[in-house]
Amino acid sequence: MQDYDERFKNLAKDAPFEANPVIPTMLEGDAPLQFRCHRGVKCWNACCSNIDITLTPYDIVRLKNHLGLSSGEFLQKYTVPYEIDKDGTPGVKLRSVDGGSACQFMVEEGCSVYGDRPTACRYYPVALLSVRRSDEYVDRLSFAKVTEKTCFGHQEPDTQTIDEYRADQGAVEYDEKGRGWRQLILKKKSAGPAVGKPPMISKQLFFMASYDLDRFRAFVISESFNKTYDIPVAEMAELIADDEKLLAFGDRFLRQVLFNEQSITEKDGAYEARVERLKAKAEQIRAEFEANRDQIENEKYCAPPGQPGDCGCGD
């Protein structure tokens, strides 16, 4: 019997489609990488002309500060939303130029935000695979090579290990700063159906604490937040002043809200007050439903066939 690799190779040989440029082999950091990108390559800027770049929360902090924008302004101008998983966990990608696929930061000389470019740009042509085994509580970093025909950097003679390349590109710092968030995503994925479909409010909190940091800061300062959570004054001062500290706090906050990992002290009576607020909200929704019951039930049905309001469904 042929082994898996042999059968895979034979299948790939006859396949009527182009091979995926991400070679499906998990590599460790000491694997060799023959590659160099520089202005002299004939494909200069080719990769930045056709982008599909997922942003991490730390990427957004670096870019918005580089550009002198608030997180809201940055998200509006430079990103598009997407869903990370089937539960609709929100993610953001870099938005290309209007009517094209090129990065908005691409200029003739290369990247106009080079010192603060996103993690994915630092890694290319390596893909970062963050995996967690079922018996482990931390993620492991593995890598895969991306060998696109349009990238001639692979034909350069320079060879280094993947770890050397990561260090050279400043990716190690980005990995460390993004670690908490990566683990949160992995935990969410591995929690699977036990956690169930998250309600809209938890997606909104996830988006705010992950990507819209300036809005999250306003939330942390707000009266309603401080009625619930007991944040020491010195810590609050750091959260107000320091984006990276606030990002790390957002990670703790999301773990507390989504997975009940208690690391932020709640004020006495805050839980009971929250239950009372939820009960009052549920009662209000029930009362509104009762008050409009006739109208809501009638809205479920279309007008008779041929009458205005008939959608043709037959109800």
Smallest distance from the beta carbon of 37 to ligand SF4, in angstroms? 3
**Residues 38-67 close enough to bind ligand SF4 by CB under 6 A:** 41, 43-48, 51, 53
Query: Binding ligand SF4 by CB under 6 A: which of 33, 55, 126, 151?
Result: 151
* The one segment of 118-126, 201-209, 249-257, 275-283 that binds ligand SF4 by CB under 6 A: 118-126
Q: How many residues bind ligand SF4 (CB under 6 A)?
A: 23
**Residues 245-284 close enough to bind ligand SF4 by CB under 6 A:** none
Query: Binding ligand SF4 by CB under 6 A: which of 21, 29, 152, 161?
Result: 152
β-strand partners of 127? 144
165 contacts 33 by C-beta, under 8 angstroms = yes
Query: Binding ligand SF4 by CB under 6 A: which of 117, 145, 188, 217?
Result: 117
E strands, the chain, are 32-34, 54-55, 79-83, 90-94, 106-107, 110-111, 126-131, 140-145, 159-161
Contact mark string toward ligand SF4, 86..115, x via CB under 6 A: -----------------x-xx----x-x--
127 lies in the site for ligand SF4, by CB under 6 A: no
171 lies in the site for ligand SF4, by CB under 6 A: no
Q: Which amino acid is at 123?
A: Y
In the complex with ligand SF4, which residue's Cβ is closer, 162 or 205? 162
In the complex with ligand SF4, which residue's Cβ is closer, 18 or 294? 18
40 contacts 167 by C-beta, under 8 angstroms = no
24 contacts 9 by C-beta, under 8 angstroms = no
Nearest residue to 209 via CA among 241, 239, 230: 239
What are the b/e assignments for 285-313, b being 16+ CB within 10 Å?
Answer: eeeeeeeeeeeeeeeeeeeeeeeeeeeee
CB-based contacts of 137: which residues, under 8 Å, 6+ apart? none
> What is the 3-class SS of 156-173, one letter each residue?
CCCEEEHHHHHHHCCHHH
In the complex, the residues that contact ligand SF4 under the rule CB under 6 A are: 37, 41, 43-48, 51, 53, 103, 105-106, 111, 113, 117-118, 121, 124, 150-153
